[in-house]
Every structure is written in structure tokens, then in C-alpha cells.
């Protein structure tokens, strides 16, 4: 017996993935479970991965396990979704069934899959960098329209000022924050290596205040369950639209950080360390070669917007 729903729960408890990635994979597996329950005409609780097909012979019915054709069919039916959503579904299935292969002596059905995710990959457009003026407009939009101002300003401030990956930010636990030295010790990163992220001056006090105000303990996540990758993407899209700014992917924030750091005079090796890149070539690919630089230009309107943002945040904090 191999009850799919129970195996998803076991996989969730034991697989070594970033928490945010694990959440996305579990959601994808639950969708596949729904798909199988419709195919088998049974409830999701009854889906058994070892009893998918039935062979009728004189001595009785013989049940056989799931085959790659059903995984392919599920992915082909999901082909109308975005490439990144489709890639998540594909990666989740491969991760789960390889987990079963390693731990349950289950056939490696992923080895015979025909579905090729590469065929659905969109032509890569150059990453658009947000200028300093556009970043300011974005924060003004957040301050004007946010219903959870402090959390959202803090979250986007950390993204723009550290260049962290979204998964790293959402996986931060309070015990990974060094408030005094103003740094983060990230245990779960993309390349599975611990790394230190330096915070801007004053962020230690801001984070300490946020944790105290929200009554967060050492084992809590900094942003709890307030945000997911999808929710964060939709919020960025909303605030860009409100600010009358063109759409950019949330990963553009990381590219913007790298470009502005180099523009400010930082050495590319320093930027490489800050981004947590293993190879310098990765860092070079992050920097926008055609970014328009307007050094030493003072824009009066910036100070007005800065003051508006500061006043709004202080009003919420009742300072």
C-alpha cells in the first residue's frame, strides 16, 4: 500500500528543501492527487500509488503502480499555465517520486517521462533594472496603498538593501538574526551553504522592534505565514501598477541591487559575496550593461517623497 496523501505528508516532514520551496511542491503534489482522484473516480484519501491500474485475469484482479504516462498527462494538461508554474509542477513530481524511489523501493517513474519542460521555456528577455527614482516611486506606492504597512515596507526594504533571494528572505528565522552586529546567518540557501548577509546601519534595531511588537520567538519565521512567493509577486505587481511603473519580475530586485552596488563603486568581488554567488560569471550576468546612470544629480521631488514615506511610517509606529 502507498497512500498518496500520507506519502505527501511524510515527504513534507522529511525532505531537505527550503521551507518556501517545500510549500510550493506540496501544493503541486496535492493538485496531482486531485487529478488522480478524478481519473480513478475515488476520493483523494483513497488514491494508492501502487494500485493505479488493474489487470483482470481469471484468478482475480492484479493492481499495478503508477506509470510515467500519468505524470506526463498531468503536465500536458497544465501546459496553459506560466512556464515557472509548469516548472514547479514538474520539479515537484520529480522530487517526490525520486524520494519514493530512494526510501520506499518504488519504481523510478520519472526516468521514463516524455514531458520536456524546456520546450515551454519562454525566450528570455533582458532583466529590467529599477532605477533609484523608480524604487522610490515603488516605496511611495507601498506606503500609500499597503494594508500591512510595516511588514511590507520591511520586507521590500530587506530585498532591495541586501539582494537576498525571495526563498532566503521567507525562510529567515529569528534565531538567524544577529541584532547587535546587524547581520543574518542564512542556513538555507540555494547552493545549500550557510552564508552571512550584512544589514544596513540601523536595521538591527528595526528588526528587534518588529520582533518585539509581533511577539516573535526564536523559532518563529520573521514573516511567519504572511507571505508566499506567489503572494509576494502579486503584491509587487499591484504596487508597480499603482505607481504607474512597468511590470518587472521580483527577481529584478536582486539584479537592481547588484547594478546599484557596482554603480556606487563596489568591487564586483564584493557584490559576488553579497549575492552569495559561487561563480563570478553569475554576478556579471546580473549587472545591467545598458543601465542609464545619472550620478550626482539631485532631484528635489525625491526629498518630498522621502518625507512623505517617513511621515507615514512614523504615524503607523506612533513615533
34-79 residue pLDDT tens: 998 998 888 989 888 887 776 665 565 666 778 889 999 999 999 8
List phi, psi (to 5°) of 105: 55, 40
Nearest to 177 by CA among 157, 146, 205, 152: 205
pLDDT at position 297:
43
* Whether pLDDT at 319 is above 60: no
80-135 residue pLDDT tens: 888 888 999 999 999 999 998 998 888 889 999 999 988 888 766 778 889 888 99
The whole-chain average pLDDT of the chain stands at 84
pLDDT at position 212:
92
* Whether pLDDT at 192 is above 80: no
The rounded percent of the chain whose pLDDT value lies above 90 is 33
pLDDT at position 9:
93
Beta-bridged to residue 54, according to DSSP, are: 63
Nearest to 149 by CA among 161, 134, 135, 139: 139
Q: CA–CA separation, 234 vs 81, rounded Å?
A: 16
Alpha helices in the chain (DSSP H): 4-14, 19-40, 68-77, 83-104, 132-145, 149-162, 166-170, 203-213, 229-242, 252-263, 268-275, 280-286, 300-317
Domains along the chain with CATH numbers: 4-120 (1.10.150.130), 132-171+224-317 (1.10.443)
* Whether pLDDT at 2 is above 90: no
Q: Which of 151-155, 210-214, 251-255, 280-284 has the lowest mean pLDDT?
A: 280-284
Q: Write out the three cell numbers for 225.
A: 505565514
* Whether pLDDT at 8 is above 60: yes
Q: CA–CA separation, 237 vs 224, rounded Å?
A: 22
pLDDT at position 124:
65
Nearest to 171 by CA among 290, 21, 2: 21
Amino acid at each position: 500500500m502507498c497512500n498518496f496523501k500520507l506519502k505527501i505528508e511524510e515527504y513534507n516532514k522529511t525532505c531537505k528543501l527550503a521551507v518556501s520551496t517545500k510549500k510550493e511542491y506540496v501544493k503541486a503534489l496535492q493538485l496531482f492527487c486531485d487529478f488522480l482522484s478524478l481519473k480513478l473516480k475515488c476520493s483523494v484519501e483513497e488514491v494508492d500509488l501502487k494500485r493505479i491500474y488493474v489487470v483482470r485475469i481469471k484468478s482475480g484482479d492484479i493492481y499495478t503502480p503508477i506509470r510515467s504516462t500519468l505524470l506526463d498527462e498531468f503536465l500536458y494538461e497544465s501546459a496553459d499555465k506560466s512556464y515557472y508554474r509548469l516548472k514547479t509542477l514538474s520539479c515537484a513530481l520529480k522530487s517526490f517520486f525520486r524520494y519514493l524511489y530512494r526510501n520506499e523501493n518504488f519504481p523510478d517513474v520519472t526516468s521514463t517521462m516524455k514531458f520536456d519542460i524546456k520546450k515551454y521555456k519562454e525566450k528570455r528577455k533582458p532583466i529590467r533594472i529599477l532605477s533609484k527614482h523608480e524604487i522610490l516611486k515603488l516605496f511611495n506606492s507601498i506606503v500609500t496603498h499597503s494594508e500591512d504597512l510595516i511588514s511590507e515596507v520591511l520586507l521590500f526594504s530587506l530585498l532591495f538593501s541586501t539582494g537576498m533571494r525571495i526563498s532566503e528572505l521567507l525562510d529567515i528565522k529569528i534565531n538567524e538574526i544577529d541584532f547587535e552586529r546587524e547581520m543574518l546567518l542564512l542556513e538555507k540557501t540555494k547552493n545549500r551553504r550557510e552564508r552571512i548577509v550584512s544589514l544596513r546601519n540601523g536595521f538591527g534595531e528595526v528588526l528587534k522592534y518588529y520582533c518585539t511588537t509581533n511577539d516573535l520567538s526564536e523559532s518563529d519565521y520573521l514573516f511567519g505565514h504572511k507571505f508566499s512567493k506567489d503572494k509576494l509577486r502579486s503584491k509587487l505587481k499591484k504596487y508597480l501598477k499603482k505607481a504607474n511603473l512597468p511590470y518587472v519580475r521580483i527577481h529584478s530586485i536582486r539584479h537592481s541591487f547588484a547594478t546599484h552596488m557596482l554603480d556606487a563603486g563596489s568591487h564586483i568581488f564584493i557584490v559576488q559575496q553579497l549575492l552569495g554567488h559561487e561563480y563570478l560569471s553569475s554576478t556579471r550576468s546580473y549587472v545591467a550593461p545598458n543601465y542609464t546612470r545619472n550620478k550626482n544629480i539631485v532631484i528635489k521631488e525625491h526629498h518630498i517623497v522621502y518625507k512623505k514615506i517617513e511621515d507615514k511610517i512614523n504615524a503607523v509606529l506612533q513615533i
